[in-house]
Amino acid sequence: MNSADIAWMLVATALVLLMTPALGFFYGGLVRSKNSLNTMMMSFAALGVVAMAWAAAGYSLAFSGEGTWIGNLGHALLRGVDLAPHGTIPHVLFFSYQGTFAIITAALISGAIVERMRFAPYLVFLTAWGLLVYAPLAHSVWGGGWLSRLGALDFAGGTVVHVNAAAAAGVAAWVLGPRKDHARQAMLPHNVPFTLLGAGLLWFGWFGFNAGSALGANASAALAFTNTLFAPAATLTVWTLLDLSRGGKATAVGAATAIVVGLVAVTPAAGLVGPLSAIAIGGVAALPSYFALLWRARTRLDDSLDVVAAHGVGGAVGALLTGVFAQKAWNGASDGLLFGNPRQLAVQAAAVAVTAIFSAAMTFAILRAIAIFLPLRASVREEGLGQDVVQHGEEAYSHGEGAILVLPEPGAPSLPAPVVALGTGGAS
Amino acid sequence: MLESLFRAEIRGLTVQRVQGHGGETERVETYRGATVKMGLSEKVRIEIGVSDHFVAPTVEAILRSARTGAVGDGKVFVLPVEKVFRIRTGEEDEAAVTPVEGPAAL
């Protein structure tokens, strides 16, 4: 084992974990204030149930065994996950690091289904999805499964994380149906500074996501780190110029989105392409996502926070461009289209397609199965009241006026009846 | 404008942040591909209770200092008040709205 590698991977794991609360802020700022806590809770909840599912069986299904598309239960309940080396770091650290990936991938889906899903079925969904969708895809691409044997290149998760989550998100948005106010009312972000904060923290954490995928403190990590800095910078620049040249203003929400799109696009390529290629990838990736976003706004699909446009289109573009720009001179292993290997692009396309189809189909099945036992969607009235109050019994921005403390009666059970705040806000 | 009122010897007022519109053209904002017209603008509403002989100086102070010349400057409504009480002392009407001098005032 190698102290430098361990030290870096410890930091990287913490950085990736930070990305999930950051996602909470990113998404939370974009919704209406009456749903802000619920939206953030959808990210924070993943920190609980997905991590538990990962420890129970997810890790094992992803990284244990030689299966074609799924692993075995050899490491279920952390059997055999100990301090012995896994590469140059302790096994528990590799297990932890990969766990943070599972957490954020599942949380990403929430962006498409905000403001209208009941919380309990959402928790069940996260758990099932982590085990039945994330683990097999992680195994297929990173755990020795068939996509890796096919030669698919995915340095840090363009397919496993982004195309996967986006396909699931699109399906989930479609299954749940649009919000009642969608295409009828103007629904504005209630806190754009939160979204900017989230984008900034996501970028910071993403250095752990991409550079940590080198699994060591080495040259590959340095390359991934550099690319993770400059590709989103290119995306942000191009996006801003697009906004300005189309006669609009360079919006903060646009900037935050551009940063995420750039990070998504460079994720599969991070340790595999040179920095100039990364800048090209970042700049190019701005365009499809930008127009995908505008197009989606004109459809009836209420992918509320544009997970498909940012993560799906961005991830697919990044994965394909990995097949174009991969360079053995930089990564020591594979070349892409521009360096004499056109087959790579075809393999990348196949990986993206398979991931999207598998994720979409499984997500559909999981949601339908849950819906048999638990209604997925809040009622129209509940949607009007706001999910914070309905799902969580809390208000994000309560002033406390009109709140009346309810004291327990003597001899009654210990929990007092819920406090009903009569004050500010209400349905808006 | 608050300074102008202070100079006119007005010593009590209530300020609210409200939303409204007069004749202004509507602002257009864009959020992720959705174009939105902002029908309401941020405004400030101030309530000041004064004795009869103070109405003219107060109105004049407001008109002078709050005027920007742009549409959306707002309006001053002069409304009759039946009775006024000072809560601290129970004084009524004119005594209630006469400022009390000294450091402990307000």
Q: What is the nearest CA distance from A217 to chain B, expressed in angstroms?
A: 38
**Subunit contact B32:A257, Cβ cutoff 8 A:** yes
What's the pLDDT at B101?
A: 64
A267-323 per-position pLDDT tens digit: 999 999 999 999 999 999 999 999 999 999 889 999 999 999 999 999 999 999 999
- 3-state DSSP helix/strand/coil percent for chain A, to nearest 5? 70, 0, 30
Look at residue B70 in the predicted model and tell me its pLDDT: 84
**Per-residue pLDDT, A418:** 56
> Tens digits of per-residue pLDDT, A231-244?
999 999 999 999 99
Query: What is the distance in angstroms between the Cα of B27 and the nearest Cα belonging to chain A?
Result: 13
Question: Would you say residue A413 has pLDDT above 70?
Answer: no
- A interface with B, Cβ–Cβ < 8 A, is 186, 188-189, 248-249, 251, 253-254, 257, 293-294, 296-298, 306
Please provide the average confidence, as pLDDT, over all residues in chain B: 84
Q: What are phi and psi of A160, to 5 degrees?
A: -60, -35
Residue B43 distance to chain A (closest CA, Å): 19
Position A216 scores a pLDDT of: 96
Of A174 and A424, the one with more pLDDT: A174
d(CA A374, CA A331): 48
Token pair listed for A242: 């697009």
pLDDT band at A412 (very low <50, low <70, confident <90, very high): low
pLDDT of residue B32 exceeding 60: yes
Model confidence pLDDT, tens digit, residues A347-400:
999 999 999 999 999 999 999 999 999 999 999 999 999 999 999 999 999 888
In this prediction, residues A93-119 reach a mean pLDDT of 97
pLDDT score, position B21? 85
ipTM value greater than 0.85: no
Taking an 8 Å cut-off on Cβ atoms, the answer to whether B32 and A188 are in contact is: no
Q: B interface mutation test: which of A114, A251, A299 has the most B CBs within 10 A?
A: A251
Residue A133 has pLDDT above 60, yes or no: yes
Q: Identify the pLDDT of residue B6.
A: 83
- Among residues A415, A43, A52, A363, the alpha carbon closest in space to that of A201 is found at A43
Residue B102: exposed, middle, or buried by beta-carbon count in 10 A (0-12, 13-18, 19+)?
Answer: exposed
pLDDT value, residue B104: 45
**Taking 70 as the threshold, does the pLDDT of residue A88 lie above it?**
yes
Measured between CA atoms, how close is B16 to chain A, in angstroms?
15
pLDDT at A416 over 70: no
User: How close is the nearest chain A Cα to the Cα of B103, in Å?
Assistant: 31
What is this structure's pTM? Answer: 0.89
Q: Above 90 in pLDDT, residue A71?
A: yes
- The region of weakest confidence among A332-336, A362-366, B21-25 is B21-25
With a CB cutoff of 8 Å and minimum separation 6, the contacts of A184 are none
pLDDT of residue A428 exceeding 80, the answer is no
Tell me what the pLDDT averaged over chain A comes to: 94
Q: Which residues of B touch A186 (CB under 8 A)?
A: 34, 36-37
Judge whether residue A427 has pLDDT over 80.
no
Identity of the residue in A251, A257, A296 whose CB atom sits nearest the CB atom of B30: A251
> In terms of pLDDT, which residue wins out, A8 or B40?
A8
The confidence score (pLDDT) of residue B106 equals 43
Answer yes or no: is pLDDT of A425 > 50.
no
Q: What is the pLDDT of residue A426?
A: 42
Q: CB B36 to CB A296 under 8 A?
A: no
Which pLDDT value is given to residue A4?
Answer: 97
Q: What is the DSSP string of B14-73?
A: EEEEEEE-SSPPPEEEEETTEEEEE--EEEEEEE----HHHHHHHHHHHHHHH--SSTT-
DSSP notation for A222-257: HHHHHHHHHHHHHHHHHHHHHHHHTTS---HHHHHH
Which of A141-145, A320-324, A360-364, B102-106 is predicted least confidently? B102-106
Task: Please say whether the beta carbons of A209 and A15 come within 8 A.
Answer: yes
CA A292 to chain CA centroid, Å, is 18
Give me the phi and psi of B14, to 5 degrees please: -125, 135
Is A272 exposed, middle or buried (CB count within 10 Å of its CB: 0-12, 13-18, 19+)? buried
Answer yes or no: is pLDDT of B25 > 80.
no
Residue A310, pLDDT score: 94
Q: What average pLDDT does this structure show over A5-18?
A: 98
Q: Specify the higher pLDDT residue, A343 or B27.
A: A343
- Which residues of chain A lie closer than 8 angstroms to B27, CB-CB? none
- Note whether B32 contacts A: Cβ–Cβ < 8 A: yes
As a whole number, mean pLDDT of residues B87-106 equals 73
